[in-house]
A and B are shown apart, each in its own frame.
Chain A
Amino acid sequence: MTGSLVQNIHHYCVGLSYLCAFLLEIARLLWPARGWRIAGLGFGAAGLVAHTAYLFVQQPSPAVPHGSVLLLAWVLALFYFYGTVHHAKQAWAVFVLPVVIALVALSRVLLTAAPDHAAFNFAGWASGDRFWGAVHGVLILFASVGVSVSFLASMMYLIQARRLRRKVSPGAVIPMLNLERLETMNRHSLNWAFPMLTAGLLVGTLLIPHGPSLSDNWLSVKVLSTAGLWLVFLVLLYLRYGAHVPARRLALFSVVAFTLLLVALVAAHPFADGGAK
């Protein structure tokens, strides 16, 4: 019975749980009371459990767009839960949950548009010709987490900087982390993501010649957007460590990087199957 219950978990269950947690967080900010936070965390935890159960039971392949997006949403949901527990006074969920909900919705749209129920096959991926494809996928996923966290930190940074520019009273608006903390979070995320992305891209480059159509692979949206993302990262690192541009401009670049990441994830994957496709 439990098995069939878990089998019935759907994107909607996950998304709606996160949506309830988000609305409760908004309610907490508007009418401060301890109950909102507890209820919000409860729904957030329920969403996370449902999300985990879905990934565990359905095992969507990270090589297909809807699977990779859903896996990224799961990592960000963990990030949301950790942040909400550790930064109780900050409006953490207000920024992280919309991204998580949007990714879950995007995953659903991708699955509906192009049903691909390819499941994750660990045995197949851990051995044989699919191994390097798996390494590529894992590296890109790790880089995606870094880019997503960097995006969230950047969005918060831009809002906080805007408040300061407008001299908004600190206590009159929703509580957020300070600029220094957000800038540090952004920096650490980028420092984590760049090596992952570079390594992932190198492995992917080596896999392209094994694909069915070399010219198609090199010119695919996936490859071009990932290469674009890498270039944006290169510029970001130069601006930060070479040109020392203000953190606000770096935050804007991080938002661009996240947009490119989404394009890369959503685009069809030419070598996800170890170059078999």
Chain B
Amino acid sequence: MNLRAIGCNVASAAVELRERLAFNPDKMQRAFTELNTRFAAETVILDTCNRVEIYVSRQDTVAPLHIPLMAEFLAEIHGVPASEIVPHLYEHADAQAAKHLFRVASGLDSVVIGEGQIAGQVKDAYEIALKSTATGSFLNALFPSAIRVSRRVRTETGIAHGHVSVSSAAVDFVRQVFETFTDKTVLVIGAGKMGRLTLKHLAELKPAAILVTNRNPEKAADVAKECDGHVVPWQQLDDALVQADIVLSTTGAPEPIVTRHRFDNKVRRRRAGRTLVIFDIAVPRDFDPAIHDGEVSVFNVDDLAREADRCMGERNRHLPAAEAIVEAEVAKFVSDWNKRANGPVIGQLTAEVDKVRDGVVAPLLDKLNGKLTDAEKAYIEGAFRLFQNKLLHGPIAALHEASREGHSGGLREALRMLFGLKG
């Protein structure tokens, strides 16, 4: 194994540098070609908004790529001085590089632990490299393993459970109340940024209708256009509240726009006991908190933040289990890969020594022909075979040991040279 993972991420480099190192399709193709022709390296480039990483694998017999060389290469591709890049790059070698990739794919190295988007991005990065014929046998084994490990981590631990952003936590609450959403009406009051993010998550539930109201009709029209909703005049807010099942309120009003008195008199009685969920994420709040009871649930931004924090805490609780899966999978991958690499060498070595043994034993038995019984001949053949096995045990055991430690390439090469094996 001669693998390096070199790159920078949100923790090691500021966004200003990361965006300068981002690969567009042309630069990516050029990088694949250059790394292949100059260094005979298999390559996958993982370029997301949080990281730029290059995974390169070369033959065991050649020197690995390292940060200074890669920085020069990146400088050439992106036109950024290497001296600016080097301090922000990190490098993982061999088994540690495989572990890094498995952790990245599983969302364990993400800003939001367990986020699911990265697994798809790793898969996409691999597929782009595969289509560009930039990968070889090693990365073709490594990346599918990483994708499988990420799936395993997600399904066997709670690392990806729940919603960890304030805007998406609303979905967790609303699912406690409603079974289906295709017959529900969502009412959006105001047009704040957080409101739009939350609306995006609620719109994914595919409600029957989205009503949008705002003091400013133009802003209402903008939001309605974004979510394929219908504008309701501000004066008809009470009617819209009667009609709604889920309310998302995010105005900049300095005082509550719906008081308990207004809600009880103009809305509650006309709702015929139907359940209503209100997400009041405006600060100051738009709805009087006293409206909250068994029939009408009012959740404010603190409630959503608390739920998001709880989900994050829950994910962190599953980190050790997820890391254990990654460790086990890395060990398995390294061992499998080395077995695959060692197999031909051990086969050739055994065949070669078999040939030498036969070359010695056959003339000896010919010379002693007539003087030995069949049992004695078999004993001599057995003794030579035993000698051969004892002789080869040391090198083969050393090769397996080196494989376990992840550096069997040099020893394989030494055995080839010592025993005159074909590469």
A positions within 8 Å CB-CB of B: 160-165, 167, 169-172, 177-181, 184, 244-248
Q: Taking A180-B275, A246-B273, A248-B294 as contacts, is the C-beta distance between A171 and B178 under 8 angstroms?
A: no
Contact A171 B297 (CB under 8 A): no
Q: Report the minimum CB–CB distance from A177 to chain B (whole Å).
A: 8
Q: For the complex, what is the distance from the CA of A184 to the CA of B183, rounded to whole Å?
A: 14
**Chain B interface residue number, banded:** 20 to 34
**Chain A residues, CB < 8 A from B172:** 169-171
Instruction: Show 29 residue pairs from A and B whose CB-CB distance is below 8 angstroms, ordered by the A residue.
Output: A161-B294, A162-B294, A164-B173, A164-B176, A164-B294, A164-B297, A165-B293, A169-B307, A170-B173, A170-B175, A170-B307, A171-B162, A171-B307, A177-B179, A178-B179, A179-B177, A179-B178, A179-B275, A180-B177, A180-B179, A180-B180, A180-B275, A244-B272, A244-B273, A245-B273, A246-B295, A247-B275, A248-B294, A248-B295
Binary CB contact string for chain B from 327 to 348 against chain A (1 if under 8 A, 0 otherwise)? 0000000000000000000000
Q: For the complex, what is the distance from the CA of A245 to the CA of B275, rounded to whole Å?
A: 11
With A164-B294, A178-B175 already in contact, 13 other A-B pairs whose C-beta atoms are closer than 8 Å: A161-B294, A164-B176, A165-B297, A167-B303, A169-B307, A170-B175, A171-B311, A171-B314, A179-B177, A180-B275, A184-B179, A244-B272, A244-B273
Q: Report the minimum CB–CB distance from B172 to chain A (whole Å).
A: 5
Interface residues of B in 177-191 (CB under 8 A from A): 177-180
Q: For the complex, what is the distance from the CA of A224 to the CA of B307, rounded to whole Å?
A: 50
Q: For the complex, what is the distance from the CA of A180 to the CA of B161, rounded to whole Å?
A: 23
**Chain A residues, CB < 8 A from B179:** 177-178, 180-181, 184
Q: For the complex, what is the distance from the CA of A172 to the CA of B303, rounded to whole Å?
A: 13
**Is B292 in contact with chain A by the CB < 8 A criterion?**
yes
Q: For the complex, what is the distance from the CA of A105 to the CA of B273, rounded to whole Å?
A: 38
Q: Taking A165-B297, A248-B294 as contacts, is the C-beta distance between A160 and B176 under 8 angstroms?
A: yes
Q: For the complex, what is the distance from the CA of A79 to the CA of B311, rounded to whole Å?
A: 32
Contact B178 A169 (CB under 8 A): no
Binary CB contact string for chain B from 155 to 184 against chain A (1 if under 8 A, 0 otherwise)? 000000110000000001101111110000
**Is B306 in contact with chain A by the CB < 8 A criterion?**
yes
**Is B263 in contact with chain A by the CB < 8 A criterion?**
no
Q: Which of B161, B173, B273, B314 has the most CB of A within 10 A?
A: B273
Q: For the complex, what is the distance from the CA of A171 to the CA of B312, rounded to whole Å?
A: 11
Interface residues of B in 260-308 (CB under 8 A from A): 272-273, 275, 292-295, 297, 299, 303, 306-307
Contact B294 A246 (CB under 8 A): yes
| Interface secondary structure of A, over-half rule | helix
**Is B27 in contact with chain A by the CB < 8 A criterion?**
no
Q: Which residue of A lies closest to B271 (CB)?
A: A244
Binary CB contact string for chain B from 375 to 394 against chain A (1 if under 8 A, 0 otherwise)? 00000000000000000000
Q: Which residue of B lies closest to A32 (CB)?
A: B158
Contact A171 B294 (CB under 8 A): no
Contact A169 B306 (CB under 8 A): yes
Q: For the complex, what is the distance from the CA of A163 to the CA of B173, rounded to whole Å?
A: 11
**Is B215 in contact with chain A by the CB < 8 A criterion?**
no
Q: For the complex, what is the distance from the CA of A24 to the CA of B136, rounded to whole Å?
A: 50
Q: Report the minimum CB–CB distance from B291 to chain A (whole Å).
A: 12
**Is B310 in contact with chain A by the CB < 8 A criterion?**
yes
Q: For the complex, what is the distance from the CA of A170 to the CA of B303, rounded to whole Å?
A: 11
Q: For the complex, what is the distance from the CA of A171 to the CA of B311, rounded to whole Å?
A: 8
Q: Which of A160, A165, A177, A246 has the most CB of B within 10 A?
A: A246
Q: Which residue of B lies closest to A173 (CB)?
A: B176
Q: For the complex, what is the distance from the CA of A179 to the CA of B176, rounded to whole Å?
A: 7
Q: Report the minimum CB–CB distance from A79 to chain B (whole Å).
A: 19
**Chain B residues, CB < 8 A from A246:** 273, 294-295
Q: Which residue of B lies closest to A157 (CB)?
A: B294
**Chain A residues, CB < 8 A from B176:** 160, 163-164, 170, 178-179
**Chain B residues, CB < 8 A from A167:** 297, 299, 303
- 3 A-B pairs with least C-beta separation: A244-B272, A180-B179, A246-B273
Q: Which of A160, A171, A179, A244 has the most CB of B within 10 A?
A: A171
Contact B299 A172 (CB under 8 A): no
Q: For the complex, what is the distance from the CA of A43 to the CA of B176, rounded to whole Å?
A: 30
Q: Which residue of A lies closest to B307 (CB)?
A: A169
**Chain B residues, CB < 8 A from A180:** 177-180, 275
**Chain A residues, CB < 8 A from B177:** 164, 178-180
**Chain B residues, CB < 8 A from A162:** 294
Q: For the complex, what is the distance from the CA of A246 to the CA of B276, rounded to whole Å?
A: 11
**Chain B residues, CB < 8 A from A169:** 172, 306-307, 310
**Chain B residues, CB < 8 A from A165:** 292-294, 297
**Chain B residues, CB < 8 A from A163:** 176
Q: For the complex, what is the distance from the CA of A247 to the CA of B272, rounded to whole Å?
A: 10
Q: Report the minimum CB–CB distance from A164 to chain B (whole Å).
A: 5
Binary CB contact string for chain B from 9 to 37 against chain A (1 if under 8 A, 0 otherwise)? 00000000000000000000000000000
**Chain A residues, CB < 8 A from B173:** 164, 170
Q: Which residue of B lies closest to A163 (CB)?
A: B176
Q: For the complex, what is the distance from the CA of A246 to the CA of B294, rounded to whole Å?
A: 9
Q: For the complex, what is the distance from the CA of A35 to the CA of B395, rounded to whole Å?
A: 45
